[in-house]
């Protein structure tokens, strides 16, 4: 049975990022799983960083990594034309590229972004939501692209609204992409995936919204070795899977009980508030 | 109770919880039941809060994907949201995601959290370098309109009422009413039973 399964799904299992990503071209829209540096497809990111011929990408990702790891590096290399994200707060490269006019950015509330992917992957073209009502998300006017002189070249557009049971909601269109690039903890050779702790984050929603979904995993097992009750994402969503060559799993903000005690918490906090 | 804490001042709340209260903290990147910061040898790259800080598991915690996380937020399943603020207006408008021309952070999950129908508490400094942050009308782009139910600053505590507007309900013992009035750029009512917060 397992050998038949393997044969049937033989194209799904690939050796590495290079083989998995052979179809990716400049101008493609890539949807990334991950939150910050947690649960990001490290091996696929490394591949894109090393491929100078792939650029003008549209990238959907909740945030943009850090200056030196992950998507931040692709930004520095100017390979991203437009980002769809909810938060750019702590990444100076992201801020600089955006405000300097090198990077277009569509800011999307985090929950709306997750739902755009979920609905996109579920065949629902859009939805009404309360999030962003009576803000610039509804009214339009959020800069998407700056000119080099700091003036705004493109603003976000106003959104359609509708009153449902006496409350106002706004309409959001779903997102689909050419490729979803995701990372799971464990997967079997036919694409059933299990995630670990908060590294699940956007990975599942992203996976469903890509025309082609590529998953990299820390651990690869045979079909049947993962209990069916424990599978978080069924293999039907996954077109290619490979075992990542190397995982650094960097921690963006390492905070421990020890480090907090050293900072003498309360004094720092009181100073901050006063 | 289920509560979501924003980045900044709200993250210190768990340190001050009485022992007899059970709160499951929701982390919008996909966790209910966030535990304290881990011991050094237990820090795990796969276990972080929305500020990307390493955290730990509480007994009874659970993990889920982002769309589920915001489903529980938008769907009104949380009891409480505590966020930081840059500006709050007297009718409960909140601005905390962008200062045009100066700072672009992005809204992250804040717009979803304030749209979700849970009680929204804002914690922030009362003034920023002598510039008032509690205003007649927010000057910055809004995160949500009329969404704040309580504001806690380093001077005082206010409640927001749809009819009565902004009401001063608590004041720190070393702060005078005149100080609060002078530091606030809008009118507010003073509660009949104004309480003093001992430090």
Residue-wise pLDDT for B146-196, tens only, equals 999 999 999 999 999 988 899 999 999 999 999 999 999 999 999 999 999
Give the bridge partners for A162, in sequence order.
Answer: A169
Instruction: Report pLDDT for B101.
Output: 76
Q: How confident is the model at residue A269 (pLDDT cuts 50, 70, 90)?
A: very low
Nearest to B29 among A109, A198, A272 (CB): A198
The pLDDT-based confidence of A264 (bands split at 50, 70, 90) is: low
DSSP code of B102? T
Assess contact for A241 and A180: CB atoms under 8 A.
no
Predicted pLDDT of residue A110: 98
What is this model's ipTM? 0.95
**Cα angle value A139/A143/A149 (rounded, 5°):** 145
pLDDT band at B107 (very low <50, low <70, confident <90, very high): very high
pTM, 2 dp: 0.95
Identify which of A89, A253, A265 has the shortest CB distance to residue B53: A253
Q: CA-to-CA distance for B5 and B84, rounded, in angstroms?
A: 9
Task: Summarize pLDDT for A140-149 with one digit per residue, the tens.
Answer: 999 999 999 9
Distance between B102 CA and the closest CA of chain A, angstroms = 10
**What is the pLDDT, as a whole number, of residue B117?**
82
Phi/psi for A141 (5° steps) reads 105, 5
pLDDT band at A2 (very low <50, low <70, confident <90, very high): confident
Picking from B15, B46, B53, the nearest residue to A39 by CB comes out as B46
- Taking each helix axis from N to C terminus, what angle separates A110-121 and B66-74, rounded to the nearest 10 degrees? 120
* Contact (CB<8Å) B112/A131: yes
Tell whether the model's pLDDT for residue B129 goes beyond 60. yes
Could you tell me what percent of chain B has a pLDDT over 70?
A: 100
Residues of chain B with Cβ-Cβ distance to A251 below 8 Å are 43, 45, 48, 54
The answer to whether the CB atoms of A88 and B40 lie below 8 A apart is no
Is A183 within 8 Å of A34 (Cβ atoms)?
yes
Interface probe with A: pick from B74, B102, B112, most Cβ of A within 10 Å:
B112
> Which residues of chain B have a CB within 8 Å of the CB of A202?
65-66
Question: A-contacting residues of B 87-146, CB under 8 Å?
Answer: 104-112, 115-116, 125, 141-145
Q: Is the dihedral of CA B6, B10, B15, B20 positive or negative?
A: negative
- Measured between its terminal Cα atoms, the distance across chain A in Å is 68
Q: Determine the average pLDDT of the residues in A239-262.
A: 92
Among B36, B94, B12, B168, which residue's Cα sits nearest to residue A272? B12
CATH architecture of B84-94+121-199: 3-Layer(aba) Sandwich (3.40)
Strand partners, A243: A217
d(CA B79, CA B27): 14
Domain ranges for chain B: 1-78, 84-94+121-199
User: Beta A80-85 vs A210-221: how paired, if at all?
Assistant: unpaired
Residue-wise pLDDT tens digits, A208-245: 999 999 999 999 999 999 999 999 999 999 999 999 99
Contact list in B for residue A196 (CB cut-off 8 A) is: 46
Specify the pLDDT at position B19: 86
Residues of A in contact with B25 (CB under 8 A): none
Task: Answer for the pair B116, A129: CB distance below 8 angstroms, yes or no.
Answer: no
Question: Phi then psi for B122, rounded to 5 degrees?
Answer: -110, 130
- CA–centroid distance for A239 within its chain: 17
* Across A99-106, average pLDDT: 93
The region of weakest confidence among B18-22, B25-29, B131-135 is B18-22
């Amino acid at each position: 049975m397992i050998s038949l399964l393997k044969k049937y799904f033989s194209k799904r299992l690939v050796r590495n990022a290079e083989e998995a990503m052979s179809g990716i071209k400049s101008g493609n829209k890539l949807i990334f799983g991950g939150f910050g540096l947690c649960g990001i497809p490290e091996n696929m990111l490394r591949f894109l960083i090393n491929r100078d011929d792939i650029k003008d990408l549209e990238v959907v990702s909740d945030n943009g990594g850090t200056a030196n790891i992950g998507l931040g590096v692709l930004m520095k290399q100017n390979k991203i034309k437009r980002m769809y994200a909810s938060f750019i707060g702590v990444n100076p490269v992201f801020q600089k590229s955006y405000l300097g006019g090198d990077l277009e950015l569509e800011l999307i509330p985090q929950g709306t972004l997750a739902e755009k992917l979920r609905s996109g992957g579920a065949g629902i073209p859009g939805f009404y939501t309360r999030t962003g009502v009576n803000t610039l998300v509804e009214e339009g006017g959020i800069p998407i692209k700056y000119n080099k002189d700091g003036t705004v070249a493109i603003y976000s557009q106003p959104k359609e609204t509708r009153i449902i049971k006496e409350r106002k909601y706004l309409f959001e269109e779903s997102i689909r992409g050419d490729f979803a690039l995701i990372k799971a903890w464990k997967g079997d050779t036919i694409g059933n995936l299990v995630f670990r702790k908060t590294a699940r984050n956007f990975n599942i929603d992203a996976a469903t919204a890509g025309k082609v979904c590529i998953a990299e995993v820390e651990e690869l097992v045979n079909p049947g070795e993962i209990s069916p009750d424990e599978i978080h994402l069924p293999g039907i969503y996954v077109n290619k899977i490979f075992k990542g060559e190397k995982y650094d799993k960097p921690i963006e903000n390492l905070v421990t009980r020890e480090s907090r005690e050293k900072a003498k918490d309360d004094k720092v906090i009181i100073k901050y508030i006063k | 109770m289920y509560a979501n804490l924003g980045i900044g001042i709200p993250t210190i709340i768990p340190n001050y919880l009485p022992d007899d209260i059970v709160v499951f903290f929701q982390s919008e990147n996909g966790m209910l039941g966030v535990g304290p910061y881990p011991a050094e040898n237990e820090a795990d790259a796969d276990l972080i809060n929305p500020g990307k800080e390493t955290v730990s598991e509480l007994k009874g915690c659970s993990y889920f994907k982002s769309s589920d996380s915001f489903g529980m937020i938008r769907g009104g399943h949380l009891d409480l949201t505590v966020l930081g603020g840059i500006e709050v207006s007297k009718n409960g408008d909140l601005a905390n995601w962008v200062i045009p021309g100066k700072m672009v952070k992005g809204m992250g999950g804040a717009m979803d959290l304030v749209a979700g129908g849970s009680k929204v508490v804002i914690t922030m400094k009362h003034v920023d370098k002598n510039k008032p942050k509690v205003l007649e009308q927010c000057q910055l782009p809004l995160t949500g309109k009329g969404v704040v139910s309580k504001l806690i600053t380093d001077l005082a505590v206010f409640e927001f009422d749809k009819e009565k507007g902004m009401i001063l309900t608590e004041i720190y013992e070393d702060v005078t009413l005149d100080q609060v009035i002078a530091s606030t750029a809008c009118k507010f009512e003073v509660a009949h039973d104004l309480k003093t917060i001992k430090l």
